[in-house]
Each structure stands twice: as C-alpha cells, then as structure tokens.
Amino acid sequence: MERLLYLWDELDDLSGAGRHLVVSATSSFGALATPVMSGFSALAIWFVAPQFHVNAAFLGLTVAFWGTYRSSVRVGR
C-alpha cells in the first residue's frame, strides 16, 4: 500500500509539472499574439496602401518598442 501511495504522489507531481509547463507555454504564446498581429498589420498597410508608409512605420516601431518594454518589465519581476 505504501508503494502505491508513493507512486501516486510521484504521478501527481509529474502531472503538476506538466500542467505548469502547458500553462506557461500558453500564456507566452498569448503574450506574443498582440505584437505579432500588430506587426502583420503594419506590414499589410506598408504593402497595400503605399501612401501610408509613414503610418505603417510608426505602427511597426510602436509594436517593437512596447513588445521590448513589456518583456523587460516581466524579466525584472
């Protein structure tokens, strides 16, 4: 009976670690979704509407800045 409890405890620890990795990966991908979509938006504006090159450049630079800022703030915590 003691071995069964030991194996159950190990299985519980392993599933908890797996759950943690899945949640971490999902939140990382979720955090990347906004800058990536904004970057693709800027790229689309650049190619589709040539008269808005400056706006597309500002959008791309803003995305790059805020993405870098968010990642640097999270690393510090």
DSSP-derived 3-state class of residue 26: helix
Alpha carbons within 13 angstroms on the beta-carbon side of residue 62 total 12
pLDDT in tens, the chain (77 residues): 888 888 888 888 889 898 988 888 887 777 777 777 777 877 887 788 878 888 778 877 887 787 777 766 665 45
Q: Using alpha carbons only, give the angle 58, 61, 39 rounded to the nearest 5 degrees.
A: 95
